[in-house]
Every structure is written in C-alpha cells, then in structure tokens.
Amino acid sequence: MAEINIGKKIKDLRNKNGLTQKELADRCELSKGYISQLESEQTSPSIATLMDILECLGTNVSDFFSDANDEQIIFGKDDCFTKENEEDGHTIVWLIPNCQKNDMEPILLELEPGGVSFKDDPHSGEEFGYVLAGNVVLYLGDRKYKLKSGESFYYSPLNDHYIANPYKAPAKILWISTPPSF
C-alpha cells in the first residue's frame, strides 16, 4: 500500500479550489502557519481537524483517502462488451466499460455487407468516426456521404443519422460520440 502524503493532498485540493493558505485557514478557523506546516508535513492534523479542513475543501475523509490512481487507464479485450445484431448485420464493441458516466463513448462498429448501424435520433453533442476497413455510407438527415478506409467523419448530430455498408466487403469503424449515446 502506498504511503499517503496528507499535506501534499491538502495543498493540491486547496490549489484546485483556488484558495490561499490564509483563505483556507480562515475558513477552518486555523492559523495560516498551521496550514503551512501541515502542507509541508511538519505536523499532522487530528481527525477532527482533518475532517474540518476536508469539509472546507468540499470533500470528505472517504474520498480524500481513496486512491485516485485506481482509475483504469488501459483497457483490453477482456474489458470490452460486444453485442451482435444479426438482423441488421452489425456488431458493436464497447471499448471502454461503463462509458455512460464519461463525456464521450468510443465504440468499434463492424458492418457486414448490407449491414446498417442503429438509426440515432438528433441529440446534442458531437460524433466522430474513422473508417478502419472497408467502405461505408454515412446518412445524416437527408444527405449521404461515402467514406472509404482511412477517411473520417465529424459532425453535430442535429439530424437522424446512421451508417450503412452497401458494399460486398465487411467494414469496421471507430466511432466516438459525445455525450454517450450508443
């Protein structure tokens, strides 16, 4: 288990909140000197003082001591979730689990010849895609755009939109939506 540097974490939180040592001290009814000593690890707070400081910084003991480094950064095949839709001839691979809580959602869309993606209604946000293999047609409202391997698309989804593969070879698209909508 990694050692927790309480003073550094308090300093980082204070800076994140845009507070000076004096401003934090005033909010907690402590001295600026005490906050300075605390941040430089020259003293340690009592549990009650730590709880007061954390409350003034907009957090709590549980969140303060949870290790932010537990956030998963690298994702592999075991993290992916795949859903096949044989009727529409497409497979969606959610590359990042639980992406609905994030600002964007990347998927891998595989389209069989004649396959189509789901038809998405207009929504706020942005859509980006990169054709990894094959050729596809992007339908955006009443317009259509032909894309081939190595090309990308980017648009605000203000109209109905979907992707189709009317060609004889399979296609694969990396598709990213913000906010998540897949």
- pLDDT over 70 at 182, yes or no: no
Please check the confidence at residue 96 and state whether its pLDDT lies above 50: yes
- Tell me: the pLDDT tens digits for 97-135? 776 667 889 999 999 999 999 999 999 999 999 999 999
d(CA 131, CA 172): 6
pLDDT digits (tens, 9 = 90+) for 41-73: 999 999 999 999 999 998 888 888 876 556 778
The pLDDT of residue 60 is: 87
Domains, the chain, ranges and CATH? 6-70 (1.10.260.40), 77-178 (2.60.120.10)
CB 4 within 8 A of CB 64: no
Per-residue pLDDT of 138-177, as tens digits, reads 999 999 999 999 999 999 999 999 999 999 999 999 999 9
CB distance 142 to 112 below 8 Å:
no
Q: What is the mean pLDDT of the chain?
A: 90
